[in-house]
Amino acid sequence: MVTRAYWGFTLFVALTGIAAGLLDALRLPPLYGLLIHLGYPPYFSPILGVWKILGGIALLAPRRPLVKEWAYAGMFIDYSSATISHLAMADGVSAALGPLLSAALLVGSWYLRPPSRRLV
């Protein structure tokens, strides 16, 4: 049961991270428009996109627990920053729910990861 939950959370976070990364890297809607709305510079979109893609791949790849820890940290920073940015722009709690849910599933994936995917 724990393994199923781990893979469910991890697949959701990794695949949505890769998909969002592609949208960011290519500056496509709706994420590019949100990024600009939140006040970030246009050049930040492809940078963020490439790192999202790499983070999603790292979570799915076998071995390399240190790289996975960095991916978890980077994705948590991304999701928490998006949540705070939406709240700071007075977009309302509903706009912050997406990144907040992604952060919660990311934490669930990190917490439930099997020993073979842990650093220590």
Interval 63-119: pLDDT, tens: 999 999 999 999 999 999 999 999 999 999 999 999 999 999 999 999 999 999 999
- Token output for 34: 């949100």
What are the boundaries of each domain within the chain?
2-112
Q: Cα–Cα distance between 119 and 14 in angstroms, integer?
A: 19
- Token output for 60: 């799915």
Q: Cα–Cα distance between 65 and 115 in angstroms, integer?
A: 10
Per-residue confidence (pLDDT) for residue 21, from 0 to 100: 98
Per-residue confidence (pLDDT) for residue 109, from 0 to 100: 98
Cβ pair 106, 72 in contact under 8 A: yes
Provide the mean pLDDT of the chain: 97
Per-residue confidence (pLDDT) for residue 120, from 0 to 100: 83
Q: Mark 15-52 as b/e (b = at least 16 C-beta within 10 Å).
A: eebbebbbbbbebeeebbebbeebeeeeeebeebbebb
